[in-house]
A = this chain, B = another copy of it.
């Protein structure tokens, strides 16, 4: 299993409720892909959302996000962490 940081652009003015709802939508189906979404951070001003996940591949992470209705614009495997 690997860790991934994915990035969503264009999420201007996202609210806390919307971020939590999007995260819940991921959690509800993530087991189908053996993925787990651990954290998410949002900057409503620039419309940027970062999600940290663990899973077998970037493609598996993207499949969860797509089915949940919010495809990621970038997914980076992050093998190094502090």
- List A residues 1-27 near B (Cβ within 8 Å): 3, 5, 14-16, 19-20, 23
* A82 contacts across to B, CB distance below 8 A: 19-20, 23, 39-41
The quantity of this chain's copies bound in the complex is: 2
A48 to B41, CA, bound (A): 17
Count, chain A residues at interface, CB 8 A: 26
A46 to B: closest C-beta gap in Å: 6
Q: Please give 7 more A-B residue pairs, beta carbons under 8 A apart, in addition to A16-B80, A44-B80.
A: A3-B41, A14-B80, A20-B82, A40-B81, A41-B80, A42-B78, A43-B80
Q: Which residues of A contact B (CB under 8 A)?
A: 3, 5, 14-16, 19-20, 23, 39-46, 48, 50, 52, 76-82
